[in-house]
C-alpha cells in the first residue's frame, strides 16, 4: 500500500540497490551475464565478479 509520499522507502532502496548492481556489472563487463549463476561463469568472468563485489562494499 502506498503512502501519501509514494511507495514505501524499502521499494526505493531495493530499486537503488538493483540499479547500482547493474552499473557495477556493466563497469566490469558482466552486463550481458547478469542472469547467469556465478558457478557457471568462465574463470575470467568469475574474477570480474569478485572485483564487482569488492567495489560494492
pTM of the model: 0.74
Other beta carbons within 10 Å of 30: 19
Q: What pLDDT score does 16 carry?
A: 93
Q: What pLDDT score does 44 carry?
A: 96
What is the spatial distance between Cα 28 and Cα 25, in angstroms, rounded to a whole number?
5
| All three cell numbers of 24 | 557495477
Q: What pLDDT score does 49 carry?
A: 95
Alpha helices in 1-57 (DSSP H): 9-27, 43-56
Q: What pLDDT score does 53 carry?
A: 94
Low-confidence ranges of the chain (pLDDT < 50): none
Amino acid at each position: 500500500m502506498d503512502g501519501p509520499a509514494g511507495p514505501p522507502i524499502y521499494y526505493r532502496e531495493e530499486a537503488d540497490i538493483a540499479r547500482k548492481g547493474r552499473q557495477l556489472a556493466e563497469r566490469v563487463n558482466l552486463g550481458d551475464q547478469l542472469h547467469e549463476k556465478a558457478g557457471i561463469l568462465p574463470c575470467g568472468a568469475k574474477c570480474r565478479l569478485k572485483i564487482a563485489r569488492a567495489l560494492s562494499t
